[in-house]
Amino acid sequence: MSEPEILPWDRQRGEPERAYGYFAVYRDFGRTRSVAKVATEVHKSREYLHKLATKWRWVQRAQAWDREEDRLYAEGLAEQRRDMARRHARIASALQGKIVARLQSLDASKLSPGDIARWLEVATRVERLALGLPDSTTAHTGPDGGPIRAEVEQMTEQQRADFFRALMAEAAARAGQAAPGAEPGDPGGDEDDEDGEVADGPAEQA
DSSP 56-82: TTHHHHHHHHHHHHHHHHHHHHHHHHH
Arithmetic mean of pLDDT, 178-196: 43
Q: Cα separation of 17 and 52, whole Å?
A: 12
Beta bridge partners of 168: none
Q: Is the pLDDT of residue 78 over 90?
A: no
Q: Cα separation of 189 and 163, whole Å?
A: 11
Q: Cα separation of 73 and 121, whole Å?
A: 38
Query: Would you state the pLDDT for residue 56?
Result: 97
Helix 58-104 vs helix 17-28: crossing angle, to nearest 10? 40
Give residue 68's pLDDT band: very low, low, confident or very high (50, 70, 90): very high
* Residues whose CB falls within 8 Å of the CB of residue 122, separated by 6 or more in sequence, listed in order: 99
Query: Would you state the pLDDT for residue 121?
Result: 73
Q: What are phi and psi of 147, to 5 degrees?
A: -65, 150
Percent of the chain with pLDDT over 70: 53
Arithmetic mean of pLDDT, 116-144: 60
Q: Is the pLDDT of residue 134 over 90?
A: no
> Which of these, 181, 75, 171, 167, lies nearest to 130 by C-alpha position?
171
Query: Would you state the pLDDT for residue 132?
Result: 57
Q: Cα separation of 178 and 109, whole Å?
A: 21
Give residue 152's pLDDT band: very low, low, confident or very high (50, 70, 90): low
Query: Would you state the pLDDT for residue 180?
Result: 46
